[in-house]
Amino acid sequence: MPHTETTLSSEEIFNGRVIRVTYDKVLLENGNTSTREVVHHHGGACILPVDENQNITMVRQYRYALGEEMWELPAGKLEKDENPFEAAKRELAEECGLTADHFVDLGVVYPTVGYDSEKIYLWAATGLHNVSQHLDEDEFLDVVKMPLDEALRLVLDGTIKDSKTQIGILKYAMLRDKK
């Protein structure tokens, strides 16, 4: 029998542009009650662009919450009820100035399962073509192309710390090596 918890009550604590936070009372499977603080997020879409020479395109941008610049695959948050695949293609064009002919579904990542509802949908993109980059007005980043094997090294040595980027690179590399 699967483990579960039942929501008894939910109080909204915060409702912002990116997240909503609730304080919930839950019934546990042993009959006791407990509380949960939950961050509700519409999710995100992430894409790993790979060219014909097995170079990938990433972005480097400052992340305020962590206080540091991060290496990341192009990605963005979903709007309410937005199709994740369309969002991934949009982010590829907006952030990197690329479109693609072919896409491979790399699955879904749950980055913080203890308190956050966010799901990030991952794809790889091949058959790349240049288009005009169009960043959001509050978005500043560098677009960097590097060999997939170099990106793998950066994941393994801890330089690339972002979970969706690590998972996307590792999953794509495993799929590539199985061919």
User: Which among 11, 52, 68, 137 is annotated as catalytic?
Assistant: 137
| Token digits of residue 15 | 């409702």
Beta-bridged to residue 107, according to DSSP, are: 122
Helix %, strand %, coil % of the chain (to 5): 20, 45, 35
The values of phi and psi at residue 124, to 5°, are -105, 150
Cα distance between residue 125 and residue 75, in whole Å: 13
What are the Cα distances from residue 46, in Å, to 28, 119, 123, 128, 170? Answer: 34, 11, 6, 16, 14
Is 137 a residue of the active site?
yes
The residues annotated as belonging to the active site are: 137
